[in-house]
């Protein structure tokens, strides 16, 4: 009887540990059991969809807002192409890919007669060479670094199809995965050309599943690998075992894995405080890392409680996080392309010295607290982009610009003045 009781006690402990460290996050965060999703009408914003000419605002996975230059930049791809070629979503049909990935610029202070803020495509110049000798880019996440003399440096994760080095022919991506790199370009503020300045992380095995990149302060960058490998059995076990990583590359293109074993790290960002904020699409948390030389050290963690995609920083230093309140619907749409609307959520996160009263809650493991609150949610997918993956806040006007990897449009939300 005693031995039986010991065995039962041991089993109970194991079950408790499995629940605490694996099942709890999967059930209540990754799947969202019991989660209440609010309608867009609950939030004090007036939102409208933005469509660009020739579909240039389709499938805009990521955006960056230039507060000083009053311009929003977006990385977009033809939506039909994204349904065929999107390695992060296990879409690996390179033959169905349309080589028309592009950057778009929007003048955020001038909506224009069409209401699309003069959305225009940027041209790529320089010696950039894409897959199979083309000049095509396959953008996912990106970051922009402000340089002297009114210049901007764009860092872009380029999730290209694999190509045979000798023949120049496309390889079967279902067998070898994508050939991801990070590209750098420079833009003169107000200009319409991105001059290519370098390719980083190519063929080294370090930047193997790039999602988003964030510039450091020394001419290099940190990039998230959202999976352990580009393809294979180990990749399919990532939800349970973790396997994503943070890679750091110096300006001399010396790349190494700095942090490993992360659960679906996604659209990281470098804050105004110089720290790197790394969200998880599995755990609903944001890891906070400091960079010393080429070493990343985790110093804090922010609990949001919902799968997170891309982060952005506004001019005040607040974080805006695009999140997925119903991940199962999202997975179904990625796999089957149903065309059905998807719910989306945007969170705002503010770093504070101590917990404050009011809406939101401070959450952090160190002496610093973080106020976390929901600023937008669209339970029926009426106005926010389908599968919203990015949100940028204009601190000057209060407007929020949103893009979605599965959406035919972008969205802008204008704050509604509160009567007093």
Residue range(s) defining the domain that contains residue 352: 31-415
Give bridge partners of residue 410 from the DSSP assignment: 50
pLDDT per residue over 274-289, tens digit each? 999 999 999 999 999 9
Q: How is 78-101 classified by DSSP, letter by letter?
A: -HHHHHHEEGGGTEE-GGG--S--
Asked if 386 contacts 333 with a C-beta cutoff of 8 angstroms, the reply is: yes
Dist. CA 277–CA 330, nearest whole Å: 24
Dist. CA 48–CA 31, nearest whole Å: 29
Backbone angles phi and psi of 28, in degrees to 5: -100, -15
Output the pLDDT for position 202: 82
The reply to whether 280 falls in a domain is yes
Dist. CA 266–CA 350, nearest whole Å: 19
Under the banding of pLDDT at 50, 70 and 90, the label for residue 16 is very low
Q: In the block, which residue shows the tokens 């917990």? A: 355
Q: Rounded mean pLDDT of 15-21?
A: 46
Dist. CA 235–CA 214, nearest whole Å: 24
- Is there a single domain that holds both residue 56 and residue 137? yes
- What percentage of the chain exceeds 70 in pLDDT? 90
Dist. CA 263–CA 228, nearest whole Å: 10
Could you tell me the maximum CA-CA distance found in the chain, to the nearest angstrom?
81
Q: Rounded mean pLDDT of 91-115?
A: 95
pLDDT per residue over 138-164, tens digit each? 999 999 999 999 999 999 999 999 999
Output the pLDDT for position 366: 55
- Is there a single domain that holds both residue 204 and residue 290? yes
Q: Is the pTM of this model over 0.75?
A: yes
The reply to whether 420 falls in a domain is no
The reply to whether 6 falls in a domain is yes
- Is there a single domain that holds both residue 25 and residue 36? no
- Is there a single domain that holds both residue 216 and residue 319? yes
pLDDT at 170 over 80: yes
pLDDT per residue over 312-365, tens digit each? 999 999 999 999 999 999 999 999 998 899 999 999 999 997 544 444 455 555
The reply to whether 359 falls in a domain is yes
The reply to whether 278 falls in a domain is yes
* Least confident piece of the model among 31-35, 90-94, 378-382: 31-35
Give the CA angle between residues 200, 313, 124 to the nearest 5°.
40
The structural domain count of the chain equals 2
- Is there a single domain that holds both residue 12 and residue 104? no
């Amino acid at each position: 009887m005693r031995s039986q009781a010991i065995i039962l006690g041991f089993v109970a402990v194991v079950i408790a540990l499995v629940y605490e460290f694996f099942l709890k996050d999967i059930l209540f965060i990754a799947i969202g059991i019991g989660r209440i999703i609010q309608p867009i009408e609950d939030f004090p914003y007036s939102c409208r969809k933005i469509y660009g000419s020739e579909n240039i605002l389709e499938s805009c996975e990521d955006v960056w807002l230039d507060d000083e230059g009053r311009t929003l930049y977006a990385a977009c791809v033809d939506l039909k192409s994204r349904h065929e070629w999107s390695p992060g979503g296990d879409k690996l049909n390179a033959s169905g890919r349309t080589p028309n990935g592009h950057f778009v610029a929007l003048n955020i202070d001038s909506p224009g007669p069409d209401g699309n803020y003069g959305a225009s495509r940027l041209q790529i110049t320089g010696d950039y060479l894409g897959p199979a000798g083309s000049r095509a880019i396959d953008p996912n996440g990106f970051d922009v670094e402000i340089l002297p003399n009114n210049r901007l440096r764009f860092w872009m994760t380029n999730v290209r199809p694999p190509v045979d080095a000798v023949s120049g022919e496309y390889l079967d991506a279902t067998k070898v995965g994508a050939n991801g790199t990070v590209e750098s370009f420079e833009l003169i503020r107000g200009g319409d050309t991105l001059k290519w300045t370098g390719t980083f992380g190519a063929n080294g095995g370090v930047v193997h599943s790039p999602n988003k990149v964030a510039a450091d302060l020394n001419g290099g960058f940190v990039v998230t690998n959202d999976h352990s490998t580009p393809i294979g059995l180990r990749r399919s076990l990532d939800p349970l075992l973790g396997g994503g990583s943070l890679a750091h590359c110096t300006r001399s293109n010396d790349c190494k894995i700095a942090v490993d074993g992360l659960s679906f790290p996604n659209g990281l960002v470098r804050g105004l405080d110089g720290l790197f904020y790394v969200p998880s699409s599995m755990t609903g948390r944001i890891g906070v890392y400091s960079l010393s030389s080429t070493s990343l050290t985790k110093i804090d963690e922010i609990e949001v409680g919902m799968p997170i995609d891309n982060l952005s920083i506004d001019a005040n230093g607040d974080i805006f996080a695009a999140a997925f309140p119903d991940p199962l619907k999202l997975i179904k749409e990625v796999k089957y392309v149903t065309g059905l609307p998807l719910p989306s959520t945007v969170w705002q996160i503010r770093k504070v010295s101590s917990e404050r009263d009011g809406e939101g809650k401070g959450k952090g493991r160190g002496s610093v607290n973080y106020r976390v609150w929901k600023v937008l949610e669209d339970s029926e997918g009426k106005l926010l982009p389908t599968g919203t993956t990015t949100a940028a806040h204009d601190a000057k006007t209060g407007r929020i610009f949103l893009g979605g990897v599965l959406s035919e449009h972008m969205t802008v939300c204008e704050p509604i003045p509160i009567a007093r």
